[in-house]
Structure 1
Amino acid sequence: MAVNESSDCFLTNRVLEKYYLSTMYSLEFTLGVIGNTIVVFGYIFCLKKWKSGNIYLFNLSISDLLFLCTLPILVNSYSHDQWSKEDILCHSNRFLLHANLYSSILFLTAISVDRYLLIKHPFGDHVLQRRRTAVMVSVAIWIGVILELLPLVHFLEPLTPTNNYKCLDYASSGDPATNLIYSMFLTVFGFLVPLLTMCHFYVKMVRVLKTRREQGSSGLTLEKPLALVILTVAIFSLLFTPYHVMRNVRLASRVPALNVSECTQEVISTIYIITRPFAFLNSAINPVFYFLMGDHFRDMLMAKIRQLLGRPTATGK
């Protein structure tokens, strides 16, 4: 009976990977590529004056596009249950996937800090609001994420006949005890610290808004940045928390010393599989920020589209 239960659990995970993951990643690829491509071209061709927030948002879009480039390989592999036998392709794919996750978190954190500074220093006179500073911070984020994730390549399990040459995700490969330690490190410094930073500046923003309202200042122009920071924190909580929790639980369940039953491991793996696409759903959602976060980006983009559509008519006249 135990063998049958274990087989059923394993079969469920195979079905989830083949149909659920391939479907979710396909949707994320389609929506993400369209949204982020529009944003990138919109920034390049429509935005004349770049500010610090624009630089962070542009880097966020580049990060999303790099991740989205990995999805066709994953979709094809999961849907056909056929994997490339090259370690380099597998590990680079997993590396880019995690690089997007943690660079997105950091760029969204930087954007939240920038939103606070915009309210605190509306004339852009703070050193962190300068374009040169934003470029330096962006470069530091990219370098920091790369250095932070270099051990990941070592911890990923190589493709062998034992695992049927399958490109295993991080939580399902390698030595679970060692990987759990590294996963906790990523959870704390890659996710929790940025989340607490965002919450800290969210509280500071609320205090600034409250002070200005008490002084009789109009709050109409301040409600939008506040709503966006709340939205960002909500995205952090809803999308990233379940993934990080279940990744650590998945690794812990594989530690031999804990003696977790095989079927229990598969149930945990099932929940972990469900959370994975939601963690990367931010790549499809992030373009929303480009249309909402000030600088009249949406108006400029629509004006550019109307201009392009109107050229043939103008020529015909």
Structure 2
Amino acid sequence: MTNNCSFAAVDELMKQLELAIYIPIFIIGLVSNVGALAVFCYVLPKWTETTIYMTSLALLDLLLLFLLPFKMHATNHMWPPHLQTLCSILECLYFFGIYGSIYTIMSISVDRWMAICHPFKAKQRRSRRKALGISVAVWALVSVVTSTTTSSFRQSTGHTSIHCFHSFSPRGWRPVVIVCVEVLGFLGPAVVVVFCSVRTIRALQRSEQRSAQGRACIRYVYSSLCAFLLPLTPSHLAILLQFLVHQGVIEKCGSQAAISLFLQLALCLSNVTCCLDALCYYFITAEVKSSRLSSTFAIHRRTACSSSEL
């Protein structure tokens, strides 16, 4: 990466933009996710596979929201060197929250596709115990991967102050790390989510029964797909572009400054997923309160199964 380029103007602009973005996300996300947990635990008549996944997703969103005040402070302040361990832990938790959410949304998409498009297999393979086991497995897997990967993002600075959540070490931009982040962290789950969502929507649209529950289910699929793609696609594209900068492929200072601004802005906006997930919570709650989610799936299993086999 070219050392002669100055990004002072970009950093100064982001100091203002990050606060303007994070504060509304923190307030809206905190209210919606705490409310969602209260509804899942005390209002809905029974736990289902989907509400278990949604509870896991809400907890991951709350973890991200918990870290936003630290990110807001780190935006405008350098941290003393003795806080480097704390900074590394917070960065690890941040990436754990992001990629834990990605894999949880992927699990929800697969579970929904199985229930609607393959109802007979779903009766044997879906259960609340399995949903809980998958959620725990996602947490365990992502925690191991993020803890081992994030350790390479920051190197010891000795007595120098650190800029937490910024200025990762060159080791964090190694090809093997970026390939894992892009392919395993986003592209792979994105392909699964898009495939399952498209097949589910087509099955429901071909269904002869256009009930209110069916329309609500389609809206829920669309909302969860948007909550996944809209915040996360730009941020991972920006990571790829910044990787090209570190590899010397992009050398012009103007391009590097634009990519730096795009990266920081996209990473900020990716946190809006904590608020967009509230759309999914709303449709899940509406479905379960009207006829229970399992009954909603059962309504469409017969018609969706026959239509998907055409």
Q: 1:273 aligns with which of 249, 264, 268?
A: 264
Q: Secondary structure at the match of 2:216?
A: helix
Match of residue 85, structure 2, among 83, 88, 94: 88
Among 247, 254, 264, the alignment partner of 2:239 is: 247
Structure 1 residue 268: Cα displacement = 1.4
Instruction: Decide which structure has the larger Cα Rg and report it.
Output: 1
User: Counterparts of 1:149-188 in structure 2 under 5 Å?
Assistant: 149-158=146-155, 160=157, 164-169=161-166, 172-175=167-170, 178-188=173-183
Higher relative contact order, structure no. (Cα contacts within 8 Å, ≥ 6 residues apart)? 2
Instruction: Note the C-alpha offset of 1:93.
Output: 1.3
Q: 1:201 aligns with which of 183, 196, 199?
A: 196
Distance 1:6 1:218, change over 3 A: closer
Q: Is 1:127 aligned to 2:119, yes or no?
A: no
| Counterpart-to-counterpart distance in 2, 1:240 and 1:223 | 26
- In the alignment, what sits opposite 1:238? 230
- How far did 1:104 drift? 1.0
TM-score (norm 1): 0.81
CA contact (8 A) 1:240 1:279 kept: yes
Q: Secondary structure at the match of 1:126?
A: helix
In structure 1, the residue matched to 2:111 is: 114
Over the aligned positions, Cα root-mean-square deviation in angstroms equals 2.9
* Equivalent AA in structure 1 for residue 216 of structure 2: K
Distance 2:270 2:111 in 1: 24
Deviation at 1:242, TM superposition (A): 0.8
Deviation at 1:43, TM superposition (A): 1.7
For residue 90 of structure 2, what is the amino acid of its counterpart? N
Q: Which amino acid letter does the alignment assign opposite residue 150 of structure 1?
A: S
SS at match of 2:169: coil
Distance 1:262 1:152, change over 3 A: farther
Alpha-carbon distance between aligned partners in 1 of 2:54 and 2:182, rounded to the nearest angstrom: 23
Q: Does 1:293 align with 2:284?
A: yes
Unaligned runs of 5+ in 2: 292-310
Contact 1:254–1:260 (8 Å) recurs in 2:
no
> How far, CA to CA, are the matches of 1:141 and 1:95 in structure 2?
15
Alignment of 1:252-263 (within 5 A): 252-255=244-247, 257-258=248-249, 260-263=251-254
| Paired residues for 1:205-220 under 5 Å | 205-213=200-208, 217-220=209-212
Residues 52-80 of structure 1, C-alpha deviation per residue, up to 9 Å, x if partnerless? Answer: 0000000000111111111111112213x
Offset of residue 178 of structure 1: 4.8
Return the offset for 1:296: 4.5
TM-aligned CA distance change 1:45 to 1:210, over 3 Å:
closer
Task: Indicate if the aligned counterparts of 1:159 and 1:167 stay in contact, CA closer than 8 A.
Answer: no
Structure 1: gaps spanning 5 or more residues: 301-317
Q: Once the two structures are aligned, what percentage of the paired residues are identical?
A: 23
Q: Which deviates more, 11-20 or 63-72? A: 11-20
Asked if structure 1 preserves the Cα contact closer than 8 Å seen for 2:33 and 2:58, the reply is yes
Q: What TM-score comes out, normalization by structure 2 length?
A: 0.82
Counterpart of 1:127, as a letter, is Q
Structure 1: how far apart are the matches of 2:70 and 2:259?
Answer: 25
- The corresponding residue for 1:63 is 60
Q: State the shift of 1:50 in Å.
A: 0.2
Number of aligned residue pairs: give it: 289
Q: Following TM superposition, by how much is the alpha carbon of 1:144 offset from its aligned partner in structure 2, in angstroms?
A: 1.6
Contact 2:150 2:172 in 1 (8 A): no
Q: Check conservation: 1:63, 1:100, Cα contact below 8 A.
A: yes
Provide Cα deviations, 1:268-290, integer angstroms capped at 9, x if missing partner: 11111111112121012212211
SS in 2 for 1:160: coil
8 Å CA contact 2:40–2:55 kept in 1: the answer is yes
* Matched AA of 1:61: A
- TM-superposition CA deviations, 1:171-223 (whole Å, max 9, x none): x422268534312212111211111111221232244235433xxx3454322
* Aligned-partner Cα distance in 2 for 1:158–1:40: 38
Distance 1:220 1:237 in 2: 26
